[in-house]
Amino acid sequence: MSDIRVLMAMLQLGGTLSNSTVRITPRVSWWITAQHLLSASSMSTIPNPVEDSSKHEKFVKTPIKQRTAQKKINVDGSLITAAFKSLLEPPNKKEETTENITKLNDRINAATTVDEVLSTAENPEFNSQNAYSVVYVLCNWVTSGKIKMDEIQTDKRYLKICSMLGIKTNTAVVNRKQDEDDNYNSAVYGLLQTEKTKKQIERFNVYEIITVLSTLAAKQKRTTPLLKMLTSEIANTKENLNIKQLGDILYSVAVLNFYDEVLMNKISKDLYTAIPSNERHAVIGSILTSLGVLRYRNERLLNLLSVWIVEHRNIIRPQEISSLMKTLAHLGFTPANFNEVLEHIITPLKESEMCQSSDWLDIVWALTVLNKATPEHYTSVLNSGFLNRIFDSSETESVNAFKLLNVNAAARLMIKDYTGPLLPEDSRLFDTTILRTKEKAALSNSVVSALKILLPSDSIYLNININTKMGFLLDAEFCVDSKCAPLPVNSKSDQDKQVFRIGVLTCNYHEFCRGANVVLGPVNLRKSLLEQQGYKVLLIPYTKVNIKDKLVTRVNRQGKLRLQKWYVAHPDKLKKKITRELITTILARKPKMSSFLEWKDVKVVYKRYASLYFCCAIEQNDNELLTLEIIHRYVELLDKYFGSVCELDIIFNFEKAYFILDELLVGGEIQETSKKNVLKAIAAQDLLQEVSHGDVPIEL
């Protein structure tokens, strides 16, 4: 009984304290996240995998009733029953056997401050059962925000309690940043780290582990260490799981948003053999929806599910069809038998057979993302009758608004000579507010900040956060000519110059598939719609931008060569090779390293100023310090001439930079040390240039 009690407490505390640190606020549901990140790429709520049904219905028109009651656990007297009871409920006071234990527990439960709770540990009668009660109370206080863990984790009385329960504490971990792995936070509190807990879980069979996982999903308890142990046990099992068990596992990890690559490989492998012999349609719908929620793109598995849907088209319901189409659209995948899906499944399907009007909108939206929608499909959702039906219902308006804006834009831009209905120009849908997550906004701001440095400071050269009226935001847009010189945003092409409109779309982690490094389907739809409007779309993935980097690092790490002057003759091919190797070598060096390095038969002297590196290669007998002074003198001249010189000054006025360098150096040797004389010579050259262009009258 004592071992069972240890597991009960550990599971209970793990579900409380770990969640309090990792996710004090309620977890954002996956469908809301998908709408804000992908602008109407949401999927339906994940259905619980249902039990076997002896009767199969064809196209049921009534909505699916979501199961609210979980399957009862009929393992009386087993360890798993006790574990669940402890996981979902506080310790039962009826188990207290002595009067002293009961009195201490009453004091603990009646306490209103941390000191009152921890003071009970000083009582000589204090034992492990009281310790569980103390930690349980503290868990509730941390979860509710009444106290912070920092207030108790160094208290000797708390450490004594942890020692009694066998919980390992590591105060050094507290100083880690909160955005690091959730496991760090769990390690702080010592949750689920005891050998006793691990040994108890190792004794569970697969059925019991899946039941624990399902219970965690039902109660929305995302305890990372426990999930890692449970999924690891499932992934390492050698027995083949049946399709019902696989559906339960997928449902649970999807609800908890817990992705484990090894587990998904195990599930996929077992599904390869389980799906062909399956005759239950509900579990297929659940699997499809869970794959969409997890953004898991396994092409073989998706092809297999698509084949199953076609082969069992006589028993599937509209719910399974909707799950298939939304998952395929969300993952941006077209299965090999998609023509059969369109012929046997989609073409015969009518709006009247769907449970709700929004379900039919989901089908048309999915076809739009996959570029398979017909003018008839667009007409069916853009007519006034459908719009009235969908917005007169109690369904979420913003969700449907984003999808309708996507569909409306596709009908207008991607269907040639479309004559069907479109949204009215004064429709309130065009004013729907599009929200971004904190991570998405930070990524977009990082890219925009870099563009502001590279482009002229005037606002006419860059537009940001543009509402496209197509259900998504364009992060930035700017215009360039054929030589990549920036132009005002409103510039238009003519006979003398060609203007390219560049649209910038950032893609964060949630806009990429798992299992395959490709963007989600809604991102591809955005790209296609923008290209139809004449944009050259620049997709910037989150892997290419580090929002923690300083701005100069983000802009200059590309190693672009802005200026070069050779005083020794070399073939162009060799020059490019030398330049490439030097850039790679210098950029790889850390800031505190010396500015001098030996490279082949020469010495290299370099110095960094803001976003620019200035580099000189000199002979072995030349003075490095003198070379460093020459570099500094050249930078001072540039700064005097341009006034706080920056990278763009050299990019757009490179000839001036060469004039200054030629006045300072001749044949690689210093010619003029006076800054005043150099600037006077440059001013004279500027005057000659202006006269030659007729800007200044010539005095005779």
pLDDT band at 112 (very low <50, low <70, confident <90, very high): confident
Question: 393 pLDDT band (50/70/90 cuts)?
Answer: low
Residue 40 burial (CB count, 10 A): 27
Report CA-CA distances (Å) from 554 to 368, 448, 477, 549. 36, 11, 19, 6
Section 321-325 average pLDDT: 95
**CB contact at 8 A, 341 and 348:** no
Q: Report pLDDT for 186.
A: 39
**What band does 495 get if pLDDT is binned at 50, 70 and 90?**
low
353 pLDDT higher than 70: yes
Residue 367, pLDDT above cutoff 70? yes
| Cα distances (angstroms) measured from residue 304 to each of 252, 330, 344, 662 | 22, 17, 16, 69
Most confident of the following: 126-140, 237-251, 495-509, 534-548: 237-251
Q: What is the mean pLDDT of residues 413-427?
A: 90
Query: Which pLDDT score is estimated for 185?
Result: 37
pLDDT of residue 589: 85
Give the DSSP per-residue string, 30-68. HHHHHHHHHSS---PPPPPPPPP-SS--SS--SPPPPP-
**Out of 134-143, 459-468, 678-687, least confident range:** 134-143
Q: Which of 25-39, 512-526, 581-595, 641-655 is the least confident region?
A: 25-39
**All domains of the chain, ordered by start, with CATH?**
4-13+559-692 (3.30.450.60), 438-553 (3.40.960)
Whether residue 80 has pLDDT greater than 50? no
Q: Where are the alpha helices (DSSP H) in 256-314?
A: 261-274, 281-294, 299-311
For residues 222-233, average pLDDT: 84
Amino acid making up residue 117? V
CB within 8 Å of 657: residues ≥ 6 apart? 563, 638, 649, 650
Residue 126 has pLDDT above 70, yes or no: yes
- Does position 552 have pLDDT exceeding 50, yes or no? no
Please give the Cα distance from 94 to 116 (Å, whole number).
23
Give 253-292 pLDDT, tens digit per residue.
Answer: 999 999 999 999 999 999 999 999 999 999 999 999 999 9
The pLDDT, as a whole number, for residue 521 is 95
pLDDT of residue 496: 62
pTM of the complete model beyond 0.75 = no
Cα-based angle 396, 397, 401 (whole degrees, multiple of 5)? 130
Question: Average pLDDT for residues 396-409, to the nearest whole number?
Answer: 86
DSSP label at residue 149: G
Residue that wins the pLDDT comparison between 534 and 133? 534
Q: Look at residue 295 and tell me whether its pLDDT is greater than 90.
A: yes
Mean pLDDT along residues 35-62: 39
Percent of the chain with pLDDT over 90: 33
Residue 472: CB atoms within 10 Å: 26
Give the confidence band of 188 by pLDDT, cuts at 50, 70, 90.
very low
**pLDDT tens-digit series, residues 579-612:** 888 888 888 888 888 989 988 888 999 988 877 8
Are residues 243 and 278 in contact, defined by beta-carbon separation less than 8 angstroms? yes
Lowest mean pLDDT among 138-142, 609-613, 627-631, 661-665: 138-142
Name the nearest CA neighbour of 305 among 342, 350, 274, 263.
Answer: 274
DSSP code of residue 447 = H
